Structure 1
Amino acid sequence: MIEQGDLVTAALAAQAVLSAVLAVFFLYFLHDRRRPFLRLWGLSFLALAIHVVLSLLTYRLLMAGLGPGLRLPVSVAALAAVYAQVALLVAGVVGLAYRRFLTPRHLAVVVIVVALLGGATALIGAFGPDAASLRVFVRLGVKNFLLAAAFMGAAWVILRQRSSPVQAGALLAAGAMIAYGLHLLHTLAIQVLGPAGVWTAPYAPFLPIGDLVLYALIGLGLVTWLFEHERAEARVARSEVSRLSFFDPLTGLPNRRNVRVQLANRIRVLSGTGLKVAFAFLDLERFRRVNDSLGHANGDKLLRSLAERLDARRPAQATVARISSDEFAVILTDLPDEAEARTHLDYLMDAVREPVHVGGHDIHLECACGYALYPDDAEDERALMRAADLAHSSARRRGGGPVRYRRIMEVAADERLVLESELRRAIPDGQLRLLYQPIVDAEGTVRMVEALVRWQHPERGLLLPTEFLSMATTAGLASSLDYWVMESACRQIVSWRDQGVDLRVAVNLSANLFEAPALPSTVERILRRSSLRPSDLQLEITEQVAMEDIEAGNATIERLNEVGVALALDDFGTGYSSLSWLQQLPVSRVKIDRSFIQEIEQAQGLAIVRSITDLAHALGLRVTAEGVESAQQWALLRQLGCDLFQGFHFSQPLAASEVRAFAQRRRLAQL
């Protein structure tokens, strides 16, 4: 026959093992997923394991007849541990249910205070020889009552959480917590009424088994809830990334890919009906100046406001899309003639000209608009978009619009040849400039810089990459430009190092250069000529470039890895297959696109950035957040576990001569 002491010992030992296993489980997942509630639950079950072990030790000391002098400190520690355990468990449950967690400092204060109060209950009546009943009531009765209230309160929070319907794991955890709370109250009744002879419970020796079973159910519920939570967030992130492959993440408007599909469908439907389709490009003038003076955050607000206005004022059958930083596209269908197209476009241009209040200023913008008509000017969507682009270029030169495509505009395209010729001379004539934007770690220490090219045109002034990189690509100059940037940046890094500033540099690669078979050997040669360590160079490619040919791209990346150069996936999250293909790319870093960072203070944006960060970390990749514009964004990104940060919150791109001073102000780690 099993003795009562052996039964209690076995139940407590099993509960200690179960608690330790759950603690290890949650803390293991914390390493990969970095969820605050995982840390809280892991520490909670660790505290429970400590409590159970100490309770078992107290029980064995009591059974051995040893005096209270040995049992008292163990009882104090055991009660402190169980009170802390419940505080941590409830904090994790409430945080997960409401998506809000205590700061580490506040949490530490709460846990310490609760643990001290719990330990103090062991001292009440501890030194009175006739206070046995009081000790039992305070140590066990009060504990059971407070724990029951805490568990049942946590269950109530779970059942009222925002997700609807409540997930099965959460229901199991809530049900087990309610049952455990009732179990504690039942035990309390036996403890209070039993000694008075009011209630005898022959099954009382088996109550520790109830503790074991119910805690196992609570743990199972929490584990199930964890997996359901992860699955739900991954599903939301996949859905959002999939949606963003057809929509602009900043404005929510259709993007270029979406527009091309829609335009092809409209042309197919209206073919042979006598009705026309108009396609127009509409871009904002002076937007770059506004962006530079008011900052990217206000520039984004301006774009969102204009997008909402244009979308609200478009005709019912029309589409307004954002296809680049300051450029929109418009599809007009079912048009009887050109006059109606001009009327609609004039109306939309007037909408752009209306002031927009941003950053305490009323911003007045002008726009240029060029358009083409189907079937008059083109026979398919590609030709129609090209014709509209030529008309748009003409409108930008003239100012205003709307300007309709004319075949003579084909001749105007020759002007691009002139600019291409000037770009060919820009490198040997020393017209290109490099700026460097600092990239910092979680402490704000600058760890590397990104090299950004500018063209100091002798007549047009300082040109941004958006104004000449596409032309460089079509002219076959992209690779030469990339190599110049890479070698110049490498030499600059070595120069800074000689001055005592130790930095790494990130250089963007064009699609043309990434696809070049000689890229790895050329990179190795540049590193050798500049005397730069391979580990100090990071090459960046957009995910769209990486996805063009997965097999060939992987081979190139692996060869660069052999050279010792790190590869980063730039603008991550904006491509069309990022989540599903990331694990196949042998890159070591990802850079989350700034469009997601700008939305991080919204619940959906926060969920997306968290999912991308967790996915990257799970694959062993480091994460850089681009476009950090505020201290609040930086704080949220650090909480999510991002590794590096870049944006105007830290610094705008700097000339090479300014970087050293910036490094000294930031007190960089120096050689």
Structure 2
Amino acid sequence: MSALHDRIESDTDSRVQRLERRLERERKARIDAEAVAEAGLRELYISQRRLKLLHKVTVAANSPGGLRQSLHAALEEICTDLDLACGIAYTVTDGGEAARAIDLWFSAEPSRIFDFIELSREAEFAIGEGLPGRVLADGKAHSLEDTSQAADGEGSALAFTAGLGSGFAFPITIARETVAVFEFFCRKMIHLDPPLRALLEQIGVQVGRVFERERSRQVLLHEARHDALTGLPNRIALLERIRAAAIAGNDDALVKIMVVDLDGLKGVNDLMGHHAGDQLIKTAARRLEACVLGHQRSMLNAGGSSCVSRVGGDEFIILLEGREWIDQARGLAEKMHRALAESEGLLPGISGIAASIGIARLEGTGDLDQLVRNADVAMYAAKERGGSTTVEFDESMRDTFRFRDELEKELREAIRARQFLLNFQPIVEAADPNVIVGFEALVRWQHPQRGLVHPADFIPAAESCGLILYLGDWVLEEACAAIARLNACGGRGADRYVSVNVAAHQFLSASFSARVGELIMRKGIDPANLRLEVTEGVAITDAKRTREVLEQIRAWGVKTSLDDFGTGYSSLSYLQQLPFDTLKIDKSFVADLDDKRSQQIVRTIVELARSLDLSVVAEGVEDAMQGELLAALGCDYLQGYHYGRPLAESEAFARL
């Protein structure tokens, strides 16, 4: 019995021990599971907190305040969320070679780290120096786990003294380019584990968008205030400078402006193309700037300032502020003439740059627009004197400007009131001048006070103020209506054409060919009865666009003429490329037919036309001898006062 009892007790103890071991294992497993769950929850909490921080920084970066406000908000969010003592922003300068503080920082306890913050306001780090320099070196986040051991000089010593035991810095990036650095310090030790590094990288990208927006804003502001070709200030920036000087209202704020307009740029564009013209404008801009800066250096301590601007086309305006400047404006203009005239550095075939300069003066608070207009008037007076000269504005010139201003107003009213009419000049066969093959439509202005005004007296003004588009469209529509009436008469009028001159802006506009097609359909005319004339200057302003328009209208059956042939610079090269039907020899050659050289020019033009299968019209024929000689030289058609002056429609068409 005793042995049995001992065995039973032994079995019982063994089961108890096994149960206890089992319970211990279960307890440990439960503890381990709870630890894993707690770690997972902690990681989830940290992850959610960091995501929340990234969201806060993103919101801060996209705040509407501006660069500094957005950066300060981002620093505050990072410091607050990660329990950091302070944060400092640096921008990257010197082409990525240094990080420079911009006096932008955040601290929840600024009084405790005052000395450190003061030192950081003007801190600058080269590549490899300090935390910002190490970030610049490789574009990655770096930490400093013990500021007392750092060898970065006074900044680290002050950080340690202020109780800032460790720190870290990371890059602010735009497409992997480091544009700024954020640096932070804290009182506790901080370790940049992989998740935190990933978070800082994302923050760097988000804050980088602030810099990207600022860059875009600065580019837009610069483009809005500067000329794209030369980089000089434009009219907007210039008027702001003039306005600021005028508002100052003292003797030192006296203002003169010089309008510099390049002479002969159109010839360069025609002869060598617009790329060459652009190069000439850029060269002129550099020379004008250098001339003004050199003159300014020679004035030593003289007060005032200057500004060179390009206001469009081949026109520059130089602003001179201060009494010393305006007293020397004339001498500066002469230096400009000499500087522009130098041939060195210009394209082959260009010996120098000539310019017409107009000068006007503003004292006190005057009309700024009037100031510019006065200088323009003086500049045009310089051009009328042959160019390459300088004219200062005086009151006697005001009448000239007033006349031009009034003429523009009258032209606008004339278009509104339909005060224009068309005359028609006959074009005849050279072999038989009694046969009229067509008419050229010529616009006249029926002025209510001055009577019939010749186009030479108003077309240039219409072109300069942009009204030529309206006037040209009216001429085209009226000419098409006249063709419809001519065709309705039957007989010889059915196959006679009307030729219409087309201005450059009108011909090269995007809607021109469609407008021609619309008028042909609406007026119900035969396209062969309409002929469009463009000058060489129009044709080579934009050769590609010219060819497109010519091909479109010729596909409908409309014929085209190249007017004033022989007066341009690139006739032969462009003539092969552009599909014209007729050449019109300029009247200047006809007027000089008693000169053997003019006869040879006409003969050459005729031979060239024959080789290209083009007909030839000679205009400006004043007498029978000229007509006979032109016929003998091979011209197909003739036009001029000898065969009929421009007449009203009814009189002209009655000649048929």
Q: TM-score range by the shorter chain?
A: 0.3 to 0.5
Q: Which has the higher contact order (CA 8 A, sep 6+)?
A: 1
Q: Which has the higher strand share?
A: 2
Structure with higher Rg: it is 2
Q: Normalized against structure 1, the TM-score is what?
A: 0.41
Q: Which has the higher helix share?
A: 1
Q: Normalized against structure 2, the TM-score is what?
A: 0.41
